[in-house]
Structure 1
């Protein structure tokens, strides 16, 4: 199998680098560590979600904001047995904004001078992962590394007395460990990687409206909020099944109930007592695909993805529940450079929110471009 075929398949598995349903963005993939020799890699994905619903008879319109998902990587073969990779990605994120007439965008104190805003959330999680791979022998290798992660977020929930919260930039660290097995002559590889949760204690500024002696005032509370990005497990596999043909897939488990977010003031404000963000269920995401090498220069792949609908209520800041997807990708090879591109369609599952919102008939498109340059 040519590396071009493997690259096309890896790109299609990663859905062009963008998961457009929910908060899981990159899938925390580390396939760069398996590149031959030393290499540089750059990736840019773009997602166009269409997520709409209604609550109390009020239509939300499309609340999903378009977003970019960049990725960079450097891989170096240190010795015949030891490889190193440095990978940047955005593993999690949120870009949601509702219209001003939506029920949760209405500040009950607005008629008395309270501030106006809309229900919205913007969260960016940037990660840099340093990975070592040691080849034990007989096709087996051990993987381990450190992940540094930065969170920056701002959320507004006007229905809770004009509430807004700003999470200051903070960087904390976690780890990953794993094992892999390869048989290059048939392009077979299986890898199992555990990604630890990362705990952030974030300086938080919360503000909301209250009735004072002279009317409506803005009150501010400074505190520390614990935010945990969830632990996860990635199982990736591939194998040649016929000349120039590869079958590949993945299973990803994410422990979302770890990721509840409950700022101090928000949970105490009427009529609220729940966390700002909460998750009822873990998720399992499946991908399966086939790649084919059409020529020495060009390879292509097609893949399908699935995440089941849990049936649980979801947050208005992430009104999705499960999905299925179909993606195609291709790679063209030029001496030391491989140019990969892909597109994916995602049918986003229907969801009911904790406040009674109903979201259905939603979908997303995502596209991506990836360049890999061999340094050897």
Structure 2
């Protein structure tokens, strides 16, 4: 029975990574995974990569802010390029009851690249955020009734960096009066912080049953530092209204990455058959308007959405995210098993991003040639639901989403994932 848990649940873990990589909630990319902690080997390692191919296409784009010059270019563009999500984890059973897991993940990230020549370039030309999470998670289990109760706790060090480029003054490239300048501006940011997690799990190996509930605390990045580069606009155009044109300005802000609560379950339903599922809540609403102010103004007051010193901002205004998944797995032979699952991720957009509801069907197979090795491959296909970008109520009595307007329809998303696991 334990062997069936190991083989089928391993395939289910792969499908979870496929779905996490392809879902569209907030800035979620690879999400968190601590499942290897439950592996019954003394030493186990797991490494894999998911390749995601979203096909989000923006339609009917138009420039709605005449103050930065007229829009130019296409009204329809592809927004999101393909991307990869790597992961690695290693588990050691220190005693029969005490296990620890070291992990590297990329839980958060986004990359949109509609380009320079489209009507909405005042809102975005290219935005990319990446993350690195280095975690250590341990558990202790003891027998309770017919199974084992497990207490779980851990910490993570997390790094975040990214940039956003947009059109600041389209009159510069359109007029031709300033050769060599394209009128864009770029915000670069970088931050880091520590987080923790705690949870419980109950397992009954005889029935291939496990229930787990893990809380991942929010990560306070504290002061996020960066620069605003406006050197693509001639310094001669600087004025009292915007003295930063033509320069690179050091800026700072503050941000918090969301807390998360995840419930997972699995249970045997017949010989060689396993059912499993997940319900997850993520507090994406902590990311509203993230202002950035010149560092030289730090002593003059806090940098908040209403600050008179605000130079730029990342306007997200997310709502909380929910993710629900259910699946079934089957062991066909001692070496081969497979699994399939369906999932829904509630969109976190309130009108300032294209991250709407995502529906996925994922399938995967696992080959285990011996007790030590497992090789896995999975695929997912799904739909990104339709929506629009435009004026949205936001923090600090500031108008958000007034720079452009556009729509997007129901779009296709697909993903592929491969991984290998070694245990002994």
Aligned to 1:340: 376
| Shift, 1:18, TM fit | 1.7
Deviations 1:184-236 (A, max 9, x none): 11111111111111111222111336987834641332122212211111111
Alignment of 1:1-376 (within 5 A): 1=1, 2=4, 3-15=6-18, 18-22=21-25, 23-37=27-41, 38-54=43-59, 55-56=61-62, 58-106=74-122, 119-138=125-144, 139-159=148-168, 162-168=184-190, 170-200=191-221, 201-208=223-230, 214-215=236-237, 217-260=245-288, 261-264=290-293, 275-309=313-347, 312-315=350-353, 319-335=354-370, 336-354=372-390, 355=401, 356-374=405-423, 376=424
Looking at structure 2, the residues matched to 247 and 50 of structure 1 have their Cα atoms a distance apart, in angstroms, of 31
Aligned to 1:113: none
Deviations 1:161-200 (A, max 9, x none): 73311113x3321000101010111111111111111111
Q: Secondary structure at the match of 1:102?
A: coil
Question: Are the aligned partners of 1:191 and 1:235 in contact in 2 as well (CA < 8 Å)?
Answer: yes
Aligned-residue CA RMSD (Å): 2.6
Q: Secondary structure at the match of 1:312?
A: coil
Looking at structure 2, the residues matched to 166 and 61 of structure 1 have their Cα atoms a distance apart, in angstroms, of 24
Q: Cα 1:243–1:226, aligned 2, differ >3 Å: closer, same or farther?
A: same
| Shift, 1:104, TM fit | 3.1
| Shift, 1:311, TM fit | 7.5
> Over alpha carbons, which structure has the higher Rg?
2
Deviations 1:287-312 (A, max 9, x none): 10000110100000000001235673
Q: Secondary structure at the match of 2:293?
A: coil
Q: Cα 1:254–1:273, aligned 2, differ >3 Å: closer, same or farther?
A: farther
| Shift, 1:237, TM fit | 0.6
Looking at structure 2, the residues matched to 77 and 33 of structure 1 have their Cα atoms a distance apart, in angstroms, of 9
Question: Are the aligned partners of 1:86 and 1:131 in contact in 2 as well (CA < 8 Å)?
Answer: yes
Q: What TM-score do the two structures reach when normalised by structure 1? A: 0.89
| Shift, 1:61, TM fit | 1.8
Question: Are the aligned partners of 1:20 and 1:346 in contact in 2 as well (CA < 8 Å)?
Answer: no
Q: Secondary structure at the match of 1:32?
A: helix
Looking at structure 2, the residues matched to 304 and 213 of structure 1 have their Cα atoms a distance apart, in angstroms, of 54
Deviations 1:88-140 (A, max 9, x none): 11001011111322233259xxxxxxxxxx61111111101100111032121
Looking at structure 2, the residues matched to 279 and 268 of structure 1 have their Cα atoms a distance apart, in angstroms, of 15
Aligned to 2:179: none
| Shift, 1:370, TM fit | 1.1
Looking at structure 2, the residues matched to 184 and 292 of structure 1 have their Cα atoms a distance apart, in angstroms, of 17
Question: Are the aligned partners of 1:314 and 1:351 in contact in 2 as well (CA < 8 Å)?
Answer: no
Question: Are the aligned partners of 1:328 and 1:343 in contact in 2 as well (CA < 8 Å)?
Answer: yes
Deviations 1:320-370 (A, max 9, x none): 211110000111002110001100012111121233321112121111111
Q: Secondary structure at the match of 2:314?
A: coil
Question: How many correspondences in the alignment?
Answer: 360
Question: Are the aligned partners of 1:313 and 1:353 in contact in 2 as well (CA < 8 Å)?
Answer: yes
Looking at structure 2, the residues matched to 274 and 152 of structure 1 have their Cα atoms a distance apart, in angstroms, of 16
